[in-house]
Amino acid sequence: MQPTPVPDRGRLVAVAAVVLAVLVVLGTLLVTRQTGGEGPPSAECASAGPAVRVDPAALPAGPVAGWGPEQLANAAAIVNAGADLGLDTCAQVIGVMTAMGESSLRVLDRGDAAGPDSRGLFQQRDNGAWGSYADRMDPTTSATNFFRALREVPGWRSLEPTIAAHRTQRNADPYHYERWWDDAVEVVSALAGRPVLGP
């Protein structure tokens, strides 16, 4: 009768270390996926909370930070598209900021010299990445497509908002959107009926 072999202690320790390492990597990937990026959030987004939802029938009379009723209705569509995707208030403000910088929160049926085929709130190009003409002209669909692209930007929450928007839109100037950040925070806060970002 053969004696039962005793497991090599060194081998067991090595296997346990490999299993632990795999669990740590999987946990890190899960946290990264849930938070939308690597690293801590940017200073602007550090106080972000769960997405807010806006009742389109109960919009502020406006203007808010100089933005009128049509523009507030489009901002509400952007905010709700972000909520539908489970994003946070930081993403919602980035979406509104980006549309302010691209179209002044209007559904434009024209582009500019740099992008004559650009359309809609986000001035999305006719290159197949942003859907059909109807998709680009629809506030909810165009915002949804913007947010889906934002989520694909590595570490977007840790970036300055203008850089996150730039990497999503792939526009020429990384700091183009920066001047609309404060307006976007004010508009989203007014739509939500409470401050959405702050100290």
Peptide bond into 63 cis (omega under 30): yes
pLDDT tens column, 39-48: 789 999 999 9
Backbone angles phi, psi at 81, to 5 degrees: -65, -40
Q: Tell me, what's the pLDDT at 199?
A: 62
Tally of residues, the chain: 199
Report if pTM > 0.75: yes
Domains of the chain: 43-192 (1.10.530)
Query: CB of 181 within 8 A of CB of 161?
Result: yes
Query: d(Cα 80, Cα 140) in Å, to the nearest integer?
Result: 8
Query: d(Cα 144, Cα 51) in Å, to the nearest integer?
Result: 14
CA distances from 8 to 2, 11, 13, 102 (A): 17, 5, 9, 65
pLDDT tens column, 64-90: 999 999 999 999 999 999 999 999 999
197: left (phi over 0), alpha (psi -120 to 50) or beta: beta
Tell me 45's DSSP state.
Answer: G
Below-50 pLDDT ranges, the chain: 15-16, 19, 21-37
Q: Tell me, what's the pLDDT at 110?
A: 92
CA distances from 92 to 11, 25, 109 (A): 51, 29, 23
Q: How many CB atoms lie within 10 A of CB 104?
A: 13
Bridge partners for 64 per DSSP: 67
Backbone angles phi, psi at 12, to 5 degrees: -60, -40
Percent helix, strand, coil in the chain, to 5, is 55, 5, 40
Amino acid identity of 83? A
